[in-house]
């Protein structure tokens, strides 16, 4: 006999949605930090 259980995917989908939101936030934070690092007007470092 083969089990035909099909658990609901809502909890997995919600976890994936939260992970996607967190990854998008981390990407936005990283982009802002990189901009502050390479922007000579903000960082005070010479242009390269």
User: CB-based contacts of 35: which residues, under 8 Å, 6+ apart?
Assistant: 42
Residue 29 has a pLDDT of 98
pTM here is 0.67
Place of tokens 């939260």: 18
Domain range for 19: 11-42
Provide the domain count of the chain: 1
Work out whether the CA dihedral 12, 18, 19, 20 comes out positive or negative.
positive
Q: Give a yes or no: residue 23 inside a domain.
A: yes
pLDDT tens for 1-48 read 666 666 778 888 899 999 999 999 999 999 999 999 999 999 888 887
Q: Give a yes or no: residue 17 inside a domain.
A: yes
Q: Give a yes or no: residue 15 inside a domain.
A: yes
What angle (nearest 5°) sits at the alpha carbon of residue 24, between those of residues 34 and 31?
A: 10
Residue 9 has a pLDDT of 80
């Amino acid at each position: 006999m083969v089990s035909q259980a099909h658990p609901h995917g809502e909890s997995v989908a919600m976890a994936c949605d939260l992970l996607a939101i967190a990854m998008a936030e981390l990407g936005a934070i990283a982009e802002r930090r990189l901009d502050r690092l390479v922007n000579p007007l903000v960082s005070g470092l010479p242009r390269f």
